[in-house]
Structure 1
Amino acid sequence: MTIFWIISAAMILVALEFIAPSLLRASELQESDRDKQNVVIARERLAELNKEHAAGSLSDEEYEQTKLELEQALLIDLESSGDSGGAAGAGKGGLLVLLFSALFVVAATISVYLYLGTPQLVDPQVVVAQQSSDKKLPSIEEMMTTLVERLKENPEDAEGWYLLGRTHMAMKDYKSAAFAFDKLNQLAGEQPSIMLALADALAMSAGGDMQGRPAELIRKAVTLAPEDQTALWLAGMAENQSGNYARALEHWRHLKPMLADDPDATQQVDRLIAVAERQLTASGSESVPEKPVAAIPSGTAITARVSLSAELAAQVKPEESLFIYARALTGPKMPLAAVRLKAGDLPTTVELSDAQAMVPGMNLSKFPQVVVGARISRSCNAIAASGDLLGEVSPVTVSDQAVVELVIDSVIP
């Protein structure tokens, strides 16, 4: 098993090695584009000053003072992305994107493999039992083909559309990812995390432009989930692109206290706030005062006490896999939080929280009510199959005081 995970990690590192230079170069190009944008804004502002001075709206002293301030502001902007901090800022931005990409590739690879692959082959005992078989592990292309065929047969499979969208995003096929997430959005209804995933895919397919449908989806998502960090971050970017600098400031200032444990992210938000404040001033609008931010609620969790019914006890082997999970009442069946144990660990008590989130952005704390379940898998597979033993309770209200008594007492037909 250890060798399998070492080889998998090595393959992922090789893949990341191909995309790392592009990501780091992209951050440098972004800094260059920002410098050009600052220069253009400064020139436009200078032209306005010259017109006002020529028209007599500004005295010579006021004209010279305002022009000096404009030149100093431009110099500060260029220096912040130049030798003193630009390289470091670009490097940090590239490293943040690279880190996010690494986590994204790992999550997408594991999710697709668990859904379409045969993770039970990692177990040496299963390998020995199947040595007589000459079957090979499927390639990424084969798994993608299998997933597409499954979706053709069952277009209502929300989890399948989610995995397809995530895989296309990892492969940078943003149009295909947007198509998959759009299908998922139609099936799942108004779930903020799905709307944000769709908006991100649409924006990436348009070269980063969030105007139009991406902005509409983001605004709707942040209305439904006003404490969602991803929603606040993207909402600020969408409003900033639209020229609504005051609204962008509101979103980013609301987001900042939530990032207290992440200095790099806090610094990045500070920079976004500073740029938006300068843009707001340059537009001639009044500065927006900061609003006091309410305390951020502590993380929520559900305590699950799991046991096996006496009638089914004789059918269970201690080495069989036990999955304890919480999933949304509606929408994708991908677990919001999950723990994997052995059947021999029963009875047991576990805590389900955001710490066990399977997918970034799909957190337990974002859903008011969930389904809590436990399943014993005969094949050690994360996907439910006929013959598995199951117990579920729903709806369960998500809160720190939630305690669920869960009994595995049925067999999946």
Structure 2
Amino acid sequence: MTTFIIVCVAMLLAALLWMVLPLFRAQTSNASSDSTDITAYRSERRLSGLAVGLLLPLLAILMYAGLSNWDWKAAQVAATQAGNMEEAISGLEAKLKQDPKNLEGWLLLGNTYTRLGRYARAADAFQQAYDLTQGQNVDALIGLGEALALTDEASLTGRAGKLFDTALTMAPNHPKALWYGSVAALRAGDLRRGRDRLQLLMAQNPPEELRGVLERQIQDLDEQLGEGGQASAMPPTSSSPAAPAASGSRAIPVSISISPQLRQQVTGAMPLFILARDPSAGGPPLAVQRHSGTNLPLNVTLTESDAMIPARSIATVPKVVVVARLSRSGAPQQQSGDLYGEAEYEFGKDSGPLTIIIDRVAP
């Protein structure tokens, strides 16, 4: 904002100089000109220049105030809050340097960094809490697992997944541990354990918006287990286009096809994963659907209900990168040899179906 104001002032001064200086510039006169007329003429020009110099800035200010939709008060409040938050974090970090065994301080710092989206720093803070308690504090276990998962989703099948499993042995009904533990189980191909953990979470009477997500995922898993329980890292969805999103919710219509050069490389019923990611941050996808590659070309609609984590959906970011990937291994994580295509979608700017052509091979 400061840069914007400086540029505006500079442009205004340039306009003033361009308009006012010619009015003040001395004029040469012919030998036959009357000196009284010249003096009056110059005086009139100076008055005109002064009027322009005063009125132009006033007019610019009035027009900007009347036409601009910039909320100066909100911007100032946001800047003040950001400054206060950074000051509070710095103060907390300083206290922890003096008292590194302050468990509550490390947990508070980790939670603060998680809310700010600084997941790597959150992981460092929760690791300190984990070490202090030798892995016996549930909040440290879950906080560290969440920070690791949001930093790198692959950790759900590694250390983060183990942390959630350990947390659930200590607190079997912890909501966050049940959710992340379910996602980890599904990624590992354990559909039954993932479904069971979602059912335990459903039994805790979650908020209505989360209840809908849980019901859909449990239903999908029940259908898969009823068909023989074939392993899959993510619940598949119908191969037909998704139903329109509820009024007021975000949705991305996606049209997917495959290039003729790569179509001949598709063998069998390769699973097709469609993922929306935040291009400015890591962590699990904001939306995921699973289809069959035999249905290409395909039209789908990604919605907020396709989120892996209810608090992180396509409603939380201004734009996403949508990836369509044919997985040779059957896993949603990209592997060498997978076929994929991607495109960017910006909410409020882009409209109509997002076209993705699968035309690349993962190295």
TM-score tier (shorter):
0.3 to 0.5
TM-score normalised to structure 2 length: 0.39
TM-score (norm 1): 0.34
More helix by share: 1
